[in-house]
Structure 1
């Protein structure tokens, strides 16, 4: 081969080699830019684009303050969460030192091990930091570490209304009370920011491919609860429990003509700002709605309402009270031997006669406790008075209780005789007070309501009207007669001396034995005293129900322990609500 031909061959080979190399480059670029375009675009977005959750502000809770104003019960305070991107953190030692020095007790469990998880892009290092702590961390300007603003609940009134309010846990979820029942309404809806970030995960200017969905804040709720009435109820309850050396008690105050809850309290209570320090979780429960019990003789008022509505008794109807009555193979006795002989229905309430309540049941059956009598009482108690079912009040943990139907093997004559005076069935205070309100207000059953409206951004309140669940629970005529009977029963008794003259006050005591956990038997040493009544001028302005457990005072707990608390609150309400005397 001549030198010239050899040179042409080498040149040709180089050309082909360059063509092959060029073809490889072209193929590689085609593979990367066309075939795997979506893959590398997604990888780039993972590195450059981040998703940020924009927290919504939780709605605040307010109470009424007199007739026009409102006051805050639950507010939000700015707190900060410190987070890190383990893939971006450069100097772990500096991060750990800074967090231990600044965050201290706010560090989360698992710190600082979370910084070693390179598969994660988001690791929470500390929660609930104040603004000063947050600023110190921001000033350190450590790569891969960020600060996010949030809120925590604060309670300017301390423990006032703790059980009806509930609290918000460390994960931002409402627990118990209004916070738990209306969690979704209060929590709002978080927003979303999806944007290109720098190496420190800080969002850059928003581009056309970014997403920015604003957060929708939770609603600010205004309760029907009056701050001043609530405070008075809690103090009266606390004083009453101290007098009777009782273990615990509850008070409910409501407007019988709207269902609005003016106060709801239980004692002992807790501070929702320090809920995590509570060891006895029963303190979180609102016993007014969550603890069914045998309410005792206060239920006689409801039994009388049934008899009046069915037309089988009148206030002056007389029966022969012998002090006891035989039902099946069981003898039911009165608690006291008072009023032996001809006795009116008003006296049945005055002296709290069990035999009189059983007499009403007998009249519903034409003179005996038969299927008709039992079914009539059951229908009124459950379908009209709505006992044994949730009322729908804005409280987490409401319990329905139990009312045994007459078709149940346990629904015999003895049980139904006991039910006429509040034994043999489990009901809650909110059920009984709501039923009693319907029985004395003309026959309208209003849904009990804690929330009275929504505070709008302009500072005005969008009121929530009362909700009628049933009309003609008993007739207006029967209701008026029952109201008179309950007022006469109190007026004729010694409790009337605690009432100021000129006002129309009515009420009924109830004392029910409970089972001693040590012996498994009913005993007078373990009892629940209840007082249920109303007060006002020409018509009832409020209904008050008081319950006291395990009073140590001698006598019937409904009279000696619960009734004085009712009187304390009632007399104060007459002045606070500026109710003029009727005469």
Structure 2
């Protein structure tokens, strides 16, 4: 009996032990499957499901080739070579380095021996910007621990053409300067996402209820209003002109006065966007036509004349007595060109670029004797509000400057300041502002929004952007006709023999002093020329500026020949027909 009880006790004890173990298993399973369920599912997802970024392609940039868009900036694929130092055996390092140096050449990073030896890391870049051929040759060597990453890089089939208008894309993939910087968001697009179960080689499988496939949205393909042929000739003409004059810097802008579209922007010095990292002076990135305000000088006299005619205070035949000097606010203003004294017309004052004539117009906008508050208010209304001087035009380029036109009631905006403004000193303006204003006074009085965008490419279809009228009636049609005739006469009086016969070409010189150490310098001047050309209507406006440190550069002597060169070429390129 005693033995039976002992046997029963063992059985019950074993049963209790089994039941206890089963309880532990049940509790453990409950803990794993219920309490820790989400955590382990997440861990499994992390191992099995990969999130792969589908990079968006950066939009291409086109220029016009006559009436047809042509690719100016494209994308090409290059490769970054990386290694996993923990995978590469020490005895294999020498062969890996030798192979990479032999094939990658100048694309190899400095100190690759040190990089490949960093076994505390899993990723080191040894070479960048490899071509597909270079990458394939290295892959054939079947080097352990070596991998490649595709990288998109900008390619410029026209080299450095329109460099400052285009800008560039930096190593991080962000647009800098020019159109690349200003419209970076539109060009970049939006990356896509592929989330999928993968195999051991990270190849996406088609199964899985958590799969996500969001296609990338590529950037817009933007078509510029820049004509690559006009741009190329403008750059050549500017470079040739600077070589003749020995000037250090220069800029050219060419606009269509009937639309506001910019056909060319040339700057010297320049650079190659494909080699932006080699540029020593960052000033080369700036587009001087939009980002460098200056005192434009006598080309502004065309706007002063337009203001006077539109307000009815002068006509081309109005007269005044010229003594080669005029006193304003106790300050004596002199003409640069002497000898045209006596009673002369405003047309003659424009022909010979007489400061006294422009100051007289400013006085007649007031009480006829002083550039009073009324006169200054009228000048500001036309110069700033109508012609757009001293404010951004909105052109689609990075770092546009607004310049400065002093308010008529500002302490520094007294009549001496405004007398200087009448002949282009005492205010800072950009070339794009002056060119757009000049377009409006010769096209009938319509101020078009200056633009470098001609449209977009939708697949193979070109969708042209319509011109935007920013302001109509800035001056009357009658005023515009008179001003255009005066500007034509001003040029033909001295330079008629330089232009092709049968076409209407007009222009105005400008030579402006610069401020050195706080004072106007007579030893450093900027030469500017502003003009138009066409057949039965103006078809282009060209503005040229040349400058140099400690150089006396003149509009008629140094800038005007560049204008003439481009103008005569434009008449042929646009296939305009001579009158008569």
Q: Please give the range of the TM-score, normalised by the shorter of the 2 chains.
A: over 0.9
Task: Please report how far the alpha carbon of residue 581 of structure 1 lies from its aligned counterpart in structure 2 after TM superposition.
Answer: 1.1
Q: Could you tell me the TM-score, scaled by structure 1's length? A: 0.93
Matches of residues 434-453 of structure 1 in structure 2 within 5 Å? 434-453=436-455
Task: Please report how far the alpha carbon of residue 416 of structure 1 lies from its aligned counterpart in structure 2 after TM superposition.
Answer: 0.5
Task: Please report how far the alpha carbon of residue 242 of structure 1 lies from its aligned counterpart in structure 2 after TM superposition.
Answer: 0.8
Matches of residues 107-146 of structure 1 in structure 2 within 5 Å? 107=109, 111-112=115-116, 116-117=120-121, 126-136=127-137
Change (3 A) 1:107 1:48: farther
Task: Please report how far the alpha carbon of residue 116 of structure 1 lies from its aligned counterpart in structure 2 after TM superposition.
Answer: 3.2
Equivalent residue, structure 2, for 1:558: 555
Task: Please report how far the alpha carbon of residue 137 of structure 1 lies from its aligned counterpart in structure 2 after TM superposition.
Answer: 5.7
Equivalent residue, structure 2, for 1:428: 430
Given that 2:260 and 2:450 are in contact with CA atoms closer than 8 Å, whether structure 1 keeps it comes out as yes
* 2: CA distance, partners of 1:3 / 1:77: 91
Task: Please report how far the alpha carbon of residue 49 of structure 1 lies from its aligned counterpart in structure 2 after TM superposition.
Answer: 2.1
Task: Please report how far the alpha carbon of residue 201 of structure 1 lies from its aligned counterpart in structure 2 after TM superposition.
Answer: 3.6
| 1:77-114 per-position Cα deviation (integer Å, ceiling 9, x unaligned) | 1113456789xx74475689647743563559994588
SS in 1 for 2:69: strand
Task: Please report how far the alpha carbon of residue 44 of structure 1 lies from its aligned counterpart in structure 2 after TM superposition.
Answer: 1.8
Equivalent residue, structure 1, for 2:79: 80
Task: Please report how far the alpha carbon of residue 335 of structure 1 lies from its aligned counterpart in structure 2 after TM superposition.
Answer: 0.7
Equivalent residue, structure 1, for 2:204: 203
Q: Could you tell me the TM-score, scaled by structure 2's length? A: 0.93
Change (3 A) 1:336 1:206: farther
Matches of residues 495-514 of structure 1 in structure 2 within 5 Å? 495-514=495-514
Equivalent residue, structure 1, for 2:478: 477
SS in 2 for 1:23: helix
Equivalent residue, structure 1, for 2:410: 408
| 1:224-257 per-position Cα deviation (integer Å, ceiling 9, x unaligned) | 1111111111111111111111011000111001
SS in 1 for 2:371: coil
Equivalent residue, structure 2, for 1:529: 527
Equivalent residue, structure 2, for 1:386: 388
Task: Please report how far the alpha carbon of residue 396 of structure 1 lies from its aligned counterpart in structure 2 after TM superposition.
Answer: 0.7
Given that 1:525 and 1:550 are in contact with CA atoms closer than 8 Å, whether structure 2 keeps it comes out as no
Task: Please report how far the alpha carbon of residue 504 of structure 1 lies from its aligned counterpart in structure 2 after TM superposition.
Answer: 0.8
Matches of residues 176-575 of structure 1 in structure 2 within 5 Å? 176-367=177-368, 368-457=370-459, 459-492=460-493, 494-516=494-516, 521-550=519-548, 557-575=554-572
| 1:371-414 per-position Cα deviation (integer Å, ceiling 9, x unaligned) | 00001101111110111111111111111101110121111110
Given that 1:245 and 1:553 are in contact with CA atoms closer than 8 Å, whether structure 2 keeps it comes out as no
Given that 1:246 and 1:552 are in contact with CA atoms closer than 8 Å, whether structure 2 keeps it comes out as no
Given that 2:197 and 2:211 are in contact with CA atoms closer than 8 Å, whether structure 1 keeps it comes out as yes
* 2: CA distance, partners of 1:394 / 1:480: 30
Matches of residues 8-19 of structure 1 in structure 2 within 5 Å? 8-19=8-19
Task: Please report how far the alpha carbon of residue 205 of structure 1 lies from its aligned counterpart in structure 2 after TM superposition.
Answer: 3.4
Change (3 A) 1:128 1:329: same
* 1: CA distance, partners of 2:184 / 2:43: 38
Change (3 A) 1:143 1:36: farther
Change (3 A) 1:352 1:196: same
Given that 2:524 and 2:551 are in contact with CA atoms closer than 8 Å, whether structure 1 keeps it comes out as no
Given that 2:525 and 2:551 are in contact with CA atoms closer than 8 Å, whether structure 1 keeps it comes out as no
Q: What runs of 5+ residues in structure 1 fail to find an aligned partner?
A: none
* 2: CA distance, partners of 1:216 / 1:115: 39
Task: Please report how far the alpha carbon of residue 126 of structure 1 lies from its aligned counterpart in structure 2 after TM superposition.
Answer: 5.0
SS in 2 for 1:513: strand
Task: Please report how far the alpha carbon of residue 144 of structure 1 lies from its aligned counterpart in structure 2 after TM superposition.
Answer: 7.7
SS in 1 for 2:495: helix
Matches of residues 87-106 of structure 1 in structure 2 within 5 Å? 90-91=87-88, 98=96, 101-102=99-100, 105-106=107-108
SS in 2 for 1:59: coil
SS in 1 for 2:391: coil
SS in 2 for 1:289: helix
Task: Please report how far the alpha carbon of residue 445 of structure 1 lies from its aligned counterpart in structure 2 after TM superposition.
Answer: 0.6
Given that 1:188 and 1:216 are in contact with CA atoms closer than 8 Å, whether structure 2 keeps it comes out as yes
Given that 2:54 and 2:216 are in contact with CA atoms closer than 8 Å, whether structure 1 keeps it comes out as yes
Is 1:582 matched up with 2:579? yes
Change (3 A) 1:24 1:95: farther
* 2: CA distance, partners of 1:23 / 1:316: 113
Change (3 A) 1:479 1:124: same
* 1: CA distance, partners of 2:207 / 2:527: 66
SS in 2 for 1:376: helix
Task: Please report how far the alpha carbon of residue 520 of structure 1 lies from its aligned counterpart in structure 2 after TM superposition.
Answer: 5.1
Task: Please report how far the alpha carbon of residue 329 of structure 1 lies from its aligned counterpart in structure 2 after TM superposition.
Answer: 1.8
Change (3 A) 1:92 1:395: farther
Number of equivalent positions: 572
Change (3 A) 1:140 1:48: farther
Q: What runs of 5+ residues in structure 2 fail to find an aligned partner?
A: none
Task: Please report how far the alpha carbon of residue 154 of structure 1 lies from its aligned counterpart in structure 2 after TM superposition.
Answer: 1.1
* 1: CA distance, partners of 2:126 / 2:454: 40
Task: Please report how far the alpha carbon of residue 521 of structure 1 lies from its aligned counterpart in structure 2 after TM superposition.
Answer: 3.9
RMSD over aligned CA atoms reads 2.4
- Stretch of structure 1 that moved more, 426-435 or 42-51: 42-51
Given that 2:61 and 2:222 are in contact with CA atoms closer than 8 Å, whether structure 1 keeps it comes out as yes
